[in-house]
Amino acid sequence: MRIIPVASGKGGVGKSLVAANLGVAFAQAGQKTVIADLDLGASNLHLVLGHHAPKKGIGTFLSSAKVDFVDIVADTDVPGLKFIPGDTEIPGLANLKATQLKSLVKNFIALQDQVDILLLDLGAGSHQSILDFFLLSGQGVVVSSPAVTAVLNAYVFLKNAVYRLMFTSFGKNSRARTYLEKLRLDTSAAQKMYIPQLLPEIKKIDKTSYNAFCERLEMLRPRLIMNMVSDPKDAEVAMKIRRSCEEYLGLKIEHLGVMYRDTVQDTALSSRLPITLYKPQAILSQALFRIAEKILQSQDDAPLPDEHQIDESFQEAEIEAETDFENRSDYVGELLHSGALSQGDLIETVKSQQIEISKLRKENNFMKLKLNQALQQGFKVGAR
């Protein structure tokens, strides 16, 4: 059984959209697939799947000894696809206890004889339980949008994942754990230290812990999806995440591809159908099918990608972005002429894009202001 966690640094970037539609694509490809809604503070995956409001979910399983795990695994209308609902009704469920997390992991692993792929739709952010679920597999997917805040949060999520991996690789009373704990308390020093800088020191004081972490880090190969793209140039933002991960975390990531904004997704959602079922030929659906195929072509035991393969994945994503942009223009024209997209829908699409552009400009101006303030502060310090 392959475990594929789907995460994001912040909410609203389409993580559940990706998880739901990848589940459909995998099932249609003949893979027995289960999707678990682990966004426990705001479970809504059933809406994207078009599933009826769940009566039982992870919340009821964790809070009631009378509910067995098999009772919360529900069928869907898609052959080969099952669904494990979350729960928003139980207070504090988003912050799982260690015993609850272990119970869920144990029951997920127990599915391996009946399931080919287990998709984990994780909550947004970097809570410890989210990171632990993400690190169940080396093949986690991180969804971002080109917005500055989303890109920053995607990097921060991966940074926290690597530090969580490091922390759990070190024994409780090991010298490496003690060193890391002291570093965490000294926030000024911690902010200046990066993984490539930390490792030589850890190797000197605790080679056993160093080897344990390096072995686990080598198996971590997260993959990026850039969603809500409006222009091919937006795809280039992924390179910022890649460079930051390599320089500051010693982590190599692959690029699975881009997904353009598509107003048909809103119609599919209101129709309670995943877009890959509602309109398989839509540009967004085709991007999702393409991403699913890339994941299926990769194997659990495949050798780690080298620098050339990683370069190719980013170059391929840029080419796909250009092609999808051209097809997207034709696609909108076809919808408009066919009557499937009214003139009002087109106007609304333009308005939403203008709002997004305005939002990005504000974020850009904010970043410029912060940069200028930092530069001015630097000049003052230099003058002293």
CA–CA separation, 262 vs 197, rounded Å?
43
My answer on whether 228 and 358 are in the same domain is no
Confidence grade of residue 379 (pLDDT, cut at 50, 70, 90):
low
My answer on whether 229 and 350 are in the same domain is no
Structural domain count of the chain? 2
Domain membership of residue 13 (yes or no) is yes
My answer on whether 315 and 350 are in the same domain is no
Q: What pLDDT sits at residue 238?
A: 87
My answer on whether 248 and 118 are in the same domain is yes
Domain membership of residue 214 (yes or no) is no
Comparing 41-50, 236-245, 320-329, 341-350, the range with the smallest average pLDDT is 341-350
Q: Do residues 182 and 263 make contact, with C-beta atoms less than 8 angstroms apart? A: no
My answer on whether 16 and 55 are in the same domain is yes
Domain membership of residue 179 (yes or no) is no
Domain membership of residue 232 (yes or no) is yes
Confidence grade of residue 340 (pLDDT, cut at 50, 70, 90):
very low
For residue 212, which of 262, 176, 159 has the smallest C-alpha distance?
A: 176
Q: What are phi and psi of 312, to 5 degrees?
A: -60, -40
Q: What percent of the chain has pLDDT over 90?
A: 32
Domain membership of residue 163 (yes or no) is no
Q: What pLDDT sits at residue 298?
A: 83
Confidence grade of residue 148 (pLDDT, cut at 50, 70, 90):
confident
My answer on whether 252 and 357 are in the same domain is no
Q: Do residues 37 and 58 make contact, with C-beta atoms less than 8 angstroms apart? A: yes
State which of 291, 324, 357 marks the end of a domain.
Answer: 324
My answer on whether 256 and 367 are in the same domain is no
Q: What pLDDT sits at residue 22?
A: 97
- Mean pLDDT value across residues 131-142: 91
My answer on whether 254 and 358 are in the same domain is no
Is the confidence at residue 226, as pLDDT, over 80?
Answer: yes
Is the confidence at residue 142, as pLDDT, over 50?
Answer: yes
My answer on whether 46 and 93 are in the same domain is yes
Q: What pLDDT sits at residue 36?
A: 94
Higher pLDDT, 64 or 30: 30
- Structural domain boundaries, residue 371: 345-383
Domain membership of residue 64 (yes or no) is yes
Q: What pLDDT sits at residue 363?
A: 64
My answer on whether 370 and 257 are in the same domain is no
CA–CA separation, 156 vs 80, rounded Å?
35
User: What CATH number does the domain containing 288 carry?
Assistant: 3.40.50.300
Domain membership of residue 52 (yes or no) is yes
My answer on whether 44 and 128 are in the same domain is yes
- Mean pLDDT value across residues 16-27: 95
For residue 254, which of 242, 240, 236, 237 has the smallest C-alpha distance?
A: 242
Q: What percent of the chain has pLDDT over 70?
A: 73
My answer on whether 284 and 379 are in the same domain is no
**What does the mean pLDDT of the chain come to?**
81
Q: What are phi and psi of 220, to 5 degrees?
A: -90, 115
Q: Do residues 281 and 55 make contact, with C-beta atoms less than 8 angstroms apart? A: no
Is the confidence at residue 168, as pLDDT, over 60?
Answer: yes
347-364 residue pLDDT tens = 555 555 555 556 556 666
244-265 residue pLDDT tens = 899 889 999 999 999 988 888 8
Domain membership of residue 157 (yes or no) is no
80-116 residue pLDDT tens = 999 998 875 555 556 778 888 888 989 999 998 999 9
184-194 residue pLDDT tens = 777 665 555 68
